[in-house]
Chain A
Amino acid sequence: MSELDIAQVVALSLYVSITATVLTSLVGLPLGAFLALKRFRGSWLMRTGVYTLFALPSVVVGLVVYTMLSHSGPLGFLDWLWTPIGMVLAESVLIFPLVTGLTISAVSDVDESVRLTIKTLGASNRQLMMRVMHEARFGIFGAVMVGFGRAISEVGAVWMVGGNIKGSTQVITTAIMQQTQMGDFGTSFALAGILLIIAFVVFFVIREIQERD
């Protein structure tokens, strides 16, 4: 693989993972906060459901999304199979339980007395949720970073849905698999090195945030 190929592969990995993280967070963060704060009939069920989905194997997610996006499947009309946007979908489904679940944890960790204080100062329910999320912001940011880390490390689901097409849907992880299969260890190790650097950056950012907590 040429340097240009490698750059393309890294760029796509980052694009897919970042987009999936952003989309998942937009839904998962408010949902997670809501589930942590509100007790309504069925909220226990939903929270348990989210935590159970933690155990969902990524190949299963890949298989399900692949089947749905196939032209013989219900979402075939979208033409998203073998495309980056299809990969974003698969990754989003994959990391959604993780990001939401960790947000539920972070928000639940905010003490009852904080919520009480917020209420005594006259907050509406929406204002309460925003302030509690603000108080839990370090934990919530950690949830987002964990989601990103998980997304960029994924192999199976993005291979199944993306097809590992050269110049189109090849990402760092699938490229490592392929180059290793072909015996091209040089490229594999180079890509692995890049992925490790990204992983360490994520790790350090999470640690920094935790220190500030």
Chain B
Amino acid sequence: MNKTKWLILVVVVIAVVLVAAGLAISGVFSPAESRLILATTTSTQNSGLLDFILPDFKSKYGVKVDVVAVGSGQALENAKKGDADVVLSHAPSLEAPFMDQGYGIFKWKVMYNQFAMVGPSSDPAGVGSAWNVTVAFKKIADNSSTFLSRSDNSGTYTKEMQIWALAGLNTSQFGSWYKEVGKGMEDTLMMTDELGGYTLTDEGTYFTLITTLSIVEVFRNDIVLFNQYSVIPVNPAKNLNVNVKYAVLFAEWIVSPETQDLIASYAANGHQLFFPNAEP
């Protein structure tokens, strides 16, 4: 029985070491301040902008920013639950109630990009000739052209719904040409490409994938398609554990002239993806 006892002891020691190591790398032994959790959207994360600019924050303030990327809706929900310290989102219609309910300390503009409609270069629905985006959407519906909707809680989806509402159309009455895919922006674009249909996308994601897609931009530059990104440090009054100090520092850093320049310099496939517009 000695061999067995020895084996059990070894396993227990291994377990303790593994757990201790895990606790250490999980930051349990480090001060709570040393970790900043940024809740943002998958499209923002996947554009690569954050990988580009965040190292600057780390070198200036010594804190690594951990990015949790989900849909806009969940990002704000995470913040409400205290699972994020600062939010970078682009869904004004969801941000408004969030601020009204007191979950954010303040909200600052950071940058914008545009939404655009993409579709086959032959443009069968004649979207390109529409004089505003509402008309463009109406043409899609009239033509029963294949249209892919993200149908998640993302900023893009929110924008899409906004436009259908402006056009006076009810998506629940659409035929099978209207496809609710429940996917992220890249997946949706790739599916749209495969099906030769139309969709609404943020230009950032589109330019990142441009070399792999055959669909092209068919409509852009309507004021409605303006996609505003804002930074919101989470209010500690609702959740005591929030890393307020660095959340606010993060907001200040992202609207600072140096960072704003950095944002402007970020390009994918030769296209600038984000346009800084922080107010001084």
Quick one: which of A71, A79, A183 contacts B209, CB cutoff 8 A?
A183
Interface pick from B91-99, B150-158, B182-190, B248-256: B182-190
Q: Is the CB of A79 within 8 A of B241?
A: yes
Q: Mark B127-163, 1 if CB is under 8 A from A, else 0.
A: 0000000000000000000000000000000000000
With an 8 A cutoff between CB atoms, is B64 at the interface? yes
With an 8 A cutoff between CB atoms, is A139 at the interface? no
Chain A residue total in the interface (Cβ 8 A) = 34
Quick one: which of B26, B187, B239 contacts A83, CB cutoff 8 A?
B26
Q: Is the CB of A181 within 8 A of B46?
A: yes
Q: Is the CB of B4 within 8 A of A76?
A: no
Q: How far is the CB of A201 from chain B (nearest CB, A)?
A: 19
Q: Is the CB of A79 within 8 A of B32?
A: yes
Q: Mark A55-84, 1 if CB is under 8 A from B, else 0.
A: 000000000000000111100100111111
In the complex, which residues of chain B have a beta carbon less than 8 angstroms from the beta carbon of A10? Answer: none
Give the docked Cα–Cα distance between A86 and B68 (Å): 15
Q: Is the CB of B81 within 8 A of A72?
A: yes
Q: Is the CB of B22 within 8 A of A72?
A: no
Give the docked Cα–Cα distance between A84 and B37 (Å): 15
Q: How far is the CB of B162 from chain A (nearest CB, A)?
A: 24
Q: Is the CB of B82 within 8 A of A72?
A: yes
| 144-185 of chain A: CB within 8 A of chain B | 163-168, 178, 181-183
Q: How far is the CB of A46 from chain B (nearest CB, A)?
A: 23
With an 8 A cutoff between CB atoms, is A37 at the interface? no
With an 8 A cutoff between CB atoms, is A130 at the interface? yes
Interface pick from B10-18, B115-123, B172-180: B10-18
| 78-116 of chain A: CB within 8 A of chain B | 79-86, 88
Q: How far is the CB of A129 from chain B (nearest CB, A)?
A: 11
With an 8 A cutoff between CB atoms, is B181 at the interface? no
Q: Is the CB of A167 within 8 A of B15?
A: no
Give the docked Cα–Cα distance between A79 and B241 (Å): 9
In the complex, which residues of chain B have a beta carbon less than 8 angstroms from the beta carbon of A166? Answer: 51, 67
Q: How far is the CB of B36 from chain A (nearest CB, A)?
A: 11
In the complex, which residues of chain B have a beta carbon less than 8 angstroms from the beta carbon of A164? Answer: 68-69
In the complex, which residues of chain B have a beta carbon less than 8 angstroms from the beta carbon of A83? Answer: 25-28
Which positions in B face A, CB cutoff 8 Å?
A: 1, 4, 11-12, 14-15, 18-19, 21-23, 25-28, 32, 37, 42, 46, 51, 64, 66-69, 80-83, 183-184, 186-187, 190, 208-209, 212, 239, 241
Which positions in A face B, CB cutoff 8 Å?
A: 15, 18-19, 22-23, 25-26, 70-73, 76, 79-86, 88, 127, 130, 134, 163-168, 178, 181-183
Ordered by A's residue number, 21 sampled pairs between the chains whose C-beta atoms are within 8 Å are A15-B22, A19-B15, A19-B19, A22-B14, A22-B18, A23-B18, A71-B241, A72-B82, A80-B28, A82-B83, A83-B25, A84-B22, A84-B26, A85-B25, A88-B22, A130-B1, A164-B69, A165-B66, A178-B46, A181-B42, A183-B212
